[in-house]
Structure 1
């Protein structure tokens, strides 16, 4: 079936990237040869959204001022991705030409009456009717028909050329190159395959970035906002149950558990999950789909399309270039099947004297080494490698599980680190991962009495808000270790999620789908009785939406 077509095969049909012609220097030279007006000339006229067409000046490369800013806002509203800074530079010139090309205007980069008229909407062509392809199936190279034609029409609307034949309904090399270019511009994996996320991006032509985050947040119901703070584990037999949770509980994030085999299976499952992110379920917000792809004993995705990964302890002895290269390969493989979050690398340091006596990490060789320096180097390289592919790296399990004896997944005793302090050298690998650009930090469920004797890490404001967000300066998304673990079984299900968010956490992860309704209800109930907690929820939702916006999961129409 189309939805299970192996992406790796599709990606190999036509190789290479579109050739980008010209440079900023060449563009500047062209602008000068066309007699670009002095910046002061454009700046002398004040423009706003209500300025009449007859009052709008001709704009050229090099101009500055409010009229250029108004031009840039119009270009953004028509799907061009540029900065609104009031300066007609190379980026704006390229956007103007792309717009002119898509709207069948003279492609000269000069914004005259005809281009202004089109931008103002009086002659802009209507968007292509989605009704010609209502199901939006996975669409790829070699296909033909109405859905391919809609893809082409949408690409043209966004300013991309699909070849001299235009929207002819045939998915050929020019359309493949345009899809890949579009995907790269939207922070999507540039496979050339039009999957659920690419369809969503193509169909969206509204505001982007922070403005889209704000708009999406404002359009969400309270339940939809809380749903963005849930990540639920999904095994191969759980798909219908998870789809129901997305619909009824507005769950916004999933993690693959239990072992998955083959890129075709994982890719089609990921696409199916993204298809569930409707306006009624998640307010149209795409889903973070995660997996534990560390290596060795901890590799959830195996089989065709997934390389066997050595243990972290083995990787820790490699050169920096080898560590980065393997992480890059992992990132490409994950992105290729729609998994946008790797719950790795482990940033904990295990003392060599403890070694395999450390239940959660050392027993499985999940540590990169026995000193913070060795672990820091590996963590930095792994994060860089994952980031280079657009994959979200997650450093875990803050502030480290290396000194405890038992595994928090299976034990509530022997999970206390009596050494860890706020200045502990074992924090260094986490700082290195954050500095390298990790998109998420996972919090452990262990006890660290020298930092907070009253609360486990996941429920400790001293740990998350004061140490991680304050002292260490981390501003991103914080996810819990699984709140269905034995280590927290003495706490009611609802309180686990509430206490985690109250401590400064963002995404409550549970490996038990049955726990989700209780957690969501508890968060909503606490929001009604505590304005402080409601504000914490709002901040968490904004952090999650911002992360999604940065990774091609949030679009505004």
Structure 2
């Protein structure tokens, strides 16, 4: 995600999934309006129609593999909820227990080290069982890029240099170091790192707040970005930790950060741009996921943020680049770029565009509203329900909990 600088804080509380990236356990469109500024979730349906519309029995799409699953459990698999590493909140637990959310994002900053992080991860993975998500393990993710963007620090975690500094290493050296960083993540139950950044910054880095100004770019040429981001990915993958290339189709040319500004627009990038091509080598290695940005690309789809754009998700990422893995959004909960849409509509739009995993990282209080809106839409729209099932299948396949195609 497009992370800003954040102060270090300490871990206050007390979740397992160990290590093998993905051999894990095998086991209404409406007029935009500002979101409510409530500090706690209202656990009611997002739309009045949800109470009056019967819930159809989902049709299993792979030899009865959906037998026994409720619609709500299917929907929960396509969400990833944030839990603060310094102040875990009940609403994050509620999302897993009550809304069947099947994926977790460790959010914030801690310098307390590996032991309390492992306890936090264990406490959440212990919530998963037959009453919630049919014993399917959680994807547990975080932002462990290095430099300004490193959630987990302290004993048991290396101090990871920024991407700019990582790019000074040879790809072989970087791969070896990244393997060690991946082992540290696996040891605390993290099986997905929302990294590396593959955005190509081809102008003044200081004028690019989300990437260049934070030293998150692996150099400033296509060759440097691809060789070093690919090495980072290979290192983590060798340790059993999946990666998420970000922020497709690139944030290297925007002049505002989608986290704290609205209307962030790239007016330069085209569908066949060199800044899009840098993602192709990373995608060729079949990463677990690719993150789609929330910026608007006026020369690709001027009407929608990328995460809401079927042109970007289905046309470019799936079609042009042939990517078959998970597509995850940048944060849709607290980013100002998407604040004009109600939370439920953000989730529906992203899934309708072809996204598989909706990231609700910064503000977990909106998770229930998002899940309820998707359930409501799926009950009344068979085509949308089919998209949700397809997305959930990809999530479960990434966890090793779905029949291989």
TM-score interval for Structure 1 and Structure 2 normalised by the shorter chain: 0.7 to 0.9
What secondary structure is seen at the aligned counterpart in 2 of 1:280?
coil
The CA deviation string for residues 214-234 of structure 1, in whole angstroms up to 9 with x for no partner, is 655332110011001111111
Q: 1:344–1:213: structure 2 CA closer, same or farther, 3 Å change rule? A: farther
Checking the alignment, whether the CA contact within 8 Å between 1:506 and 1:544 is kept in structure 2 is: yes
User: How far apart are 1:537 and its partner, in Å?
Assistant: 0.5
Matched residue, 2:329:
480
d(CA) in 2 for partners of 1:531, 1:442: 26
1:435 aligned partner = 284
Say if 2:231 is the partner of 1:381. Answer: yes
Structure 1 pair 477/471, CA: closer, same or farther in 2 (3 Å)? same
Matched, 1:420 2:297: no
Match of 1:251 among 101, 108, 120: 101
Q: Distance in 2 between matches of 1:479 and 1:418?
A: 23
2:365 aligns to what? Answer: 514
- 1:277 pairs with 107, 128, 142, which one? 128
Question: Which residue, 222, 236, 241 being the options, matches 2:91?
Answer: 241
Whether the aligned pair in 2 keeps the contact of 1:293 and 1:343 (CA below 8 Å) is yes
Q: Structure 2, unaligned stretches of length 5 or more?
A: 1-14, 28-59
Matches within 5 A, 1:25-44: none
Following superposition, the deviation at residue 245 of structure 1 comes to: 1.7
Rounded to whole Å, the distance in 2 between the matches of 1:535 and 1:212 is 9
Give matches, 1:44-63, under 5 Å: none
Is the 8 Å Cα contact of residues 213 and 546 (structure 1) preserved in structure 2? no
Other structure's SS at 1:217 match: coil
For 1:219, what is the secondary structure of its paired residue? coil
Three-state SS of the structure 2 residue aligned to 1:335 is helix
Q: 1:446 aligns with which of 285, 295, 302?
A: 295
Residues 517-536 of structure 1 aligned to structure 2 (within 5 Å): 517-536=368-387
CA contact (8 A) 2:21 2:192 kept: no
Structure with more helix by fraction: 1
Name the counterpart of 1:300.
151
Distance in 2 (alpha carbons) for counterparts of 1:367 and 1:538:
35
Moved more, 228-237 or 296-305: 228-237
Aligned to 1:505: 355
Distance (whole Å) between structure 1 residues aligned to residue 103 and residue 384 of structure 2: 21
Structure ranking higher on relative contact order (CA contacts 8 Å, 6+ apart): 2
Question: What is residue 120 of structure 1 aligned with on the other side?
Answer: none
SS at match of 2:213: helix
Contact conserved, 2:300 with 2:312, CA < 8 A, in 1?
Answer: yes
User: Partner residue of 1:342?
Assistant: 193
Counterparts of 1:494 and 1:424, CA distance in 2: 32
Structure with the bigger percentage of strand:
2
Quote the Cα distance in structure 2 between the aligned partners of 1:184 and 1:310.
Answer: 24
**What is the CA–CA distance in structure 1 between the aligned matches of 2:106 and 2:230, rounded to whole Å?**
25
Preserved contact between residue 244 and residue 288 of structure 2 (Cα < 8 Å): yes
- 1:408-431, CA deviations, whole angstroms, 9 ceiling, x for partnerless residues? 000014x21111111101112211
Q: Which consecutive aligned stretches of 4+ in structure 1 deviate over 6 angstroms post-superposition?
A: 183-186
SS in 2 for 1:282: coil
SS in 2 for 1:387: helix
Q: Compared with structure 1, are the counterparts of its residues 495 and 273 closer, same or farther at alpha carbon in structure 2 (3 Å cutoff)?
A: same
Whether the aligned pair in 2 keeps the contact of 1:228 and 1:541 (CA below 8 Å) is yes
**Cα shift readout 1:153-212 (whole Å, capped 9, x = no counterpart):** xxxxxxxxxxxxxxxxxxxxxxxxxxx9xx879935xxxxxxxx6xx95xxxxxxxxx99
Distance 1:233 1:185 in 2: 20
Residue 77 of structure 2: aligned partner: 228
1:239, distance to aligned residue in structure 2 (A): 4.5
Q: CA distance change for structure 1 residues 230 and 186 in 2, over 3 Å: closer, same or farther?
A: closer
- Give structure 1 stretches of 5+ with no counterpart: 1-136, 139-179, 189-196, 202-210
Alpha-carbon distance in structure 2 between the residues aligned to 1:184 and 1:543:
17
1:187 is aligned to 23
Q: Normalising by the residue count of structure 1, what TM-score does the alignment of the two structures yield?
A: 0.61
Query: What corresponds to 1:397 in structure 2?
Result: 247
Deviations 1:38-73 (A, max 9, x none): xxxxxxxxxxxxxxxxxxxxxxxxxxxxxxxxxxxx
Residues 113-168 of structure 1: CA distance to partner in whole angstroms, max 9, x if unpaired? Answer: xxxxxxxxxxxxxxxxxxxxxxxx99xxxxxxxxxxxxxxxxxxxxxxxxxxxxxx
**1:186–1:545: structure 2 CA closer, same or farther, 3 Å change rule?**
closer
Root-mean-square deviation (CA, aligned residues, Å) is: 2.3
Change (3 A) 1:474 1:256: same
SS of the aligned residue for 1:441 comes to strand
Deviations 1:258-317 (A, max 9, x none): 113310011111122111111111111100110100000000000010000000011112
The TM-score normalised by the length of structure 2 is 0.83
Q: Secondary structure at the match of 1:535?
A: helix
Does 2:339 match 1:494?
no
Matched, 1:286 2:137: yes
**Residues 212 and 554, structure 1, Cα contact 8 Å, conserved in 2:** no
Determine the C-alpha separation between the residues in 2 that align with 1:548 and 1:521.
24
Contact 2:21 2:242 in 1 (8 A): no
Quick one: distance in 2 between partners of 1:425 and 1:186? 30
